[in-house]
Each structure stands twice: as structure tokens, then as C-alpha cells.
Structure 1
Amino acid sequence: MKVNACAILAATIASGLKPHIFEDKLQERAWCKLRLAQALRTFGNRGYDEEIAGHVKARDAIETECFWANPWGLHFKLIQLEDLLLVHFEGKILQAGKYLLNTAAFLIHSKIHAARPDIICAAHSHSLYGKAFSALGKPLDMISQDSYTFYNDHAVYTDYRGINHSLLVASDMIEAAVWFYISLEKACQVQLLADAAGKKVKISSEQAAETGSKVGNKTAGWFSGQMEFAFLESEEQNSFVYLKE
């Protein structure tokens, strides 16, 4: 049975589950900050933290030439929305907390957000399997559903002057960016295991494209990602409440 992205979206809306609708830009900003802090705690809970390394950023809904950044020196699991920093693409910190800005993170994310106005969230961390796979300097083989998600939609950055050091994912929704990072990390893990086990069986380009169009579109990414946030809210017994000033 074939299920396309339109069918997934229709079923999602019919069930009452759909992306958040905002009353105004202030509410959208508050939601974005909450989601970003939740995304970072989700990364921490999954073990994607590595001391001061790693960063997830989200474009501001009001000051669109700025992004919210996780603070440098605070563990992912501890980050709350009030800890986030608001940073302009040129490097000026417009809203700061008691922690510093990761300079390396600014250099990466400012370029992404400036070059791609459609990007809302970009996530990079030194997760174990992504870090190990990036050392191989090659793209994923199409051997699992996780890898099909990234069919013709991922690349290896070979012009980096430092050392290979894991994954970077970007999307126009925070939930989708989180899920695609999780999925890419799993795809790296599967391929490392398969490479160690022996000869792999790859699927055809046609099959990869068909499956990738279903599991790799942004609606599917949001749908899967929102489950991560729902689980976190259940564990923390806390959910989004917006109070106008």
C-alpha cells in the first residue's frame, strides 16, 4: 500500500494533530524558545552532548536576522528557555544570560541562516555514531529506511579545514530538524554495523527515491519529531502555556 506525503498530512490534520498555529509573533517567539530548549534537552537525554561541543539554533520569529542559541558551558539536559541567547547574524548578542556564546557555533549557524532564509532550525552535535561515520568521509549507502530519508538530500563537507566531527541537520521546523538528526544518527549506526558485518545489499535508486519521498519530507519529519517533544513533556510533566504580558 502506497502512502504519500499528502495522505500523511491529511490524516494528521483530520486527527486534530497539526503544527502549532500562533496568535501573534510574540507567541511564535515564545513557542520557538520553548521548543529549542526542549530540543536541546532531548539531545542531552539521547546522549548527544559532549561537554562544550554541539549546538542547536532557531531563527527568531520577530527579528528574522537573529537566532536563538544554546549557551556555552551549560549541559544540554539543564537548558531552559530563559538560558537562551539572541544573536544577530553579524555576531552582536542582543539578549544574553549568565553564560557565553559558543563562537564556533556562531560561525556555522550565522552562515546557514543568512544563506537560507527558509531554514528555521539547524542542529549539530558530536553524537557517537555520526562522529564515527563522518571520519569515513563518504555519504550513506541506501541500505535502511533511516538512510532512505536522506536519499539525494545529504552531502559530505570535504572542504572543512578542521577535522571531521559528526552531523549537521537543518529544516524549516524545529521538530523536523530534531527528528532528522535522530534518524541520521541511527542511519550512521546501522551502516557502521553493516560495514563491519560484511557485504551490504543496496536497493535501487527508484526504490530509495519512492521511500525517501515518504519518510524524508518535512511533514513526516514534523510528525515523528513532535512525538519526541510529547514524550519529553510527559516525562517533565510540563507543557507550553503562553501568557500575554
Structure 2
Amino acid sequence: MSSTTITTNESAVQPITVSRPVQSKPNDFPDLINKVHSIPTFTDQEAERKWAKEHLVGAFRLFARFGYNDGAGGHISLRDPVQPDCFWINPYAVHFKLLKVSDLILVNEDGVPLTETKHKVNTSGFLIHAALHKARPDVNAAAHCHSPYGRAWSAFGRPIEMLNQDCCMFYDDLSVYEGFGGVVLAKEEGENIARALGPKHKNVILQNHGILTCGGTVDEAAAFFIALEQACQAQLLAEAAAANGLPKKFVGDEEAKFTKEGSGSPAVMFMQFKPEYDLLLHETGGDFLN
């Protein structure tokens, strides 16, 4: 059982507290309601590669739209479905908004490009993503950019708090890397970040650096990034209000765990990204698919 506080206009000064059980899952709902989350599956690896690369570039385009690009920095990687020990990554110093599928670079774990390109690969980006993909076979995509709120909150070297329903997406799924070692130019720093992420978490706050998110699909990793950036914004706003004397109320562990299961699963995060990707396709006419 847990307690919920209900405040009415008539009793604004004296909240009413009621007890209620944690909700059960709606397994008895019809499929129209119950089975709303699904991730496409493929039997053809080449078809999966094409689809995943299109979504990878779509994520870059959306990150540009949301203001996550920062000069030549920022990168998202995709484990190649055909050659799982290799991954696709964006070319260095190409604006996210200009990226097309044909611009992506396939590299192996030693940094050797396997596709012809006139571009270079960001050294820091390669070192981080190579370490992540090697340490975590379940991570097929990882995103890291110096987004405004993630970068600001990273200065505290603390996880976000369970302040609202959306923050619960990260319940027991968020690490903090406290050992900032400067710009990532050594293999060991990439390995340190992978180690901080741990064996099961998909999200990490890099102290004095920014945020990084992962997923089984590009869609999941990108949706987590967007959600974590928004959670960092909410945390900063809450901290500012709390500094003026307003007490924060936190979501309880039981409720946060239940909410995470219903709003932060791989399938749910995939569907969180879908509307944005579909809108991007509509508005651009799919010009990035070439």
C-alpha cells in the first residue's frame, strides 16, 4: 500500500491523504489497448541494416531540431546488424541537420573505416562508442551530445531524482560517472565510461561533461536521450524552486519501479521516438534517406 495526497480548492491548506494499492498491469485489456508497443523484427540482415541506418540519421536530424548539436561535437553509434563487431557513426564536423544515410561511416573495433568516405571520425566518439559496444553486447546504439540541460546538471555529479512520472523512466537505470578525465583521447577513458555505465544500465550522467544513453535500437537510445535531457531540465527547475524554500515531493520506490516497467521499457521507448521520426519524414520528404 502507498499513500496519495489529494488537494482540493476547499482544503488547499490541509491536503487529504488516502491509501491505495499499487496498480496491477492491464493484462486483461483487448489487444487494441494492451499491445500498443512493438519493435520491428527482421529475418533479412541487409533490410535491417538499411532500416536502422535510416533511423540513425533520423535521430541526428531530430537532435539538431532540439538543439543538441554543438559544433563538431556529438555522436550516435549503431552496431551493424550484418557485422556485429563493427558500428556506424557520424562523420566528424558535419552538422546533424545536413546528415544523410550515405554520409555514415562503418568502422571496426580498431577504428578502421570499412566504407569509402572523405570524412574523418571523431576520436572521442570512436573511443567512447567502441568501448561501450565491446563491453555491452546488448547495446546496439548509443547517443552522446553536449545538450544544454544535461551538460548543466552534469556539473553536480548526481543522478536525477524521482520528481515526476517521466523521471521514473530512469528508475534503477541511470549511472553517474564521477571520474571526469578531460576530453576523451585515450582508450582507457572510453573504458572508464563503459565501466561506469555498468552491466545493465542504459543511461549515464558524465560528470562535468553531459549525458549518454543506450538502447537495443537507435530509437530507444534516442528516446532515452531526449527524455533524460528533459529530466535534467525538470531537475534544474525543481532545484531553483527548492532554493527558494519550496519542499520537493518524491515518487516512492514502489511507484517508481512500477512506472519504469510501464514507461521505460525498450518497446515503450521505441514508440516514444516513432511520432517524432514520422513527423520528420513528413516534413522533410525523407531527404535524409539517400
Range 37-46 or range 22-31, more displaced: 22-31
Tell me, in whole angstroms, the C-alpha distance in 2 between the residues paired with 1:65 and 1:240: 26
Say which of 106, 109, 125 aligns to 1:105. Answer: 125
Flag the 1:5–1:51 CA change in 2: closer, same or farther, 3 A: farther
**Paired position in structure 2 for 1:164:** 208
Amino acid at match of 1:28: E
| Structure 1 unmatched ranges of 5 or more | none
**Paired position in structure 2 for 1:216:** 264
**Paired position in structure 2 for 1:230:** 278
Amino acid at match of 2:285: Q
Flag the 1:7–1:133 CA change in 2: closer, same or farther, 3 A: farther
Flag the 1:102–1:6 CA change in 2: closer, same or farther, 3 A: farther
Which is greater in Rg? 2
Tell me, in whole angstroms, the C-alpha distance in 2 between the residues paired with 1:234 and 1:56: 23
Tell me, in whole angstroms, the C-alpha distance in 2 between the residues paired with 1:6 and 1:62: 36
Contact 2:161–2:250 under 8 Å retained in 1:
yes
Amino acid at match of 2:241: A
Amino acid at match of 2:111: G
Mapping 1:95-134, distance limit 5 Å: 95-134=115-154
Q: Deviations over 1:162-215 (max 9, x none)?
A: 262110000101111111111000000001001001131112111111111111
Residue 196 of structure 1 pairs with residue 216 of structure 2:
no
1:95 partner SS: coil
Shift of 1:35: 1.0
Q: Which consecutive segments of 4 or more residues in structure 1 shift more than 6 A?
A: 5-9, 239-242
Aligned length: 241
Contact 1:31–1:240 under 8 Å retained in 2:
no
Flag the 1:217–1:239 CA change in 2: closer, same or farther, 3 A: farther
Mapping 1:1-245, distance limit 5 Å: 2=23, 4=25, 10-11=31-32, 18-162=38-182, 164-198=208-242, 199-238=247-286
TM-score (ref. length: structure 1): 0.90
| Structure 2 unmatched ranges of 5 or more | 1-21, 183-206
Amino acid at match of 2:221: A
Shift of 1:21: 3.7
Q: Percent identity?
A: 37
Flag the 1:240–1:103 CA change in 2: closer, same or farther, 3 A: closer
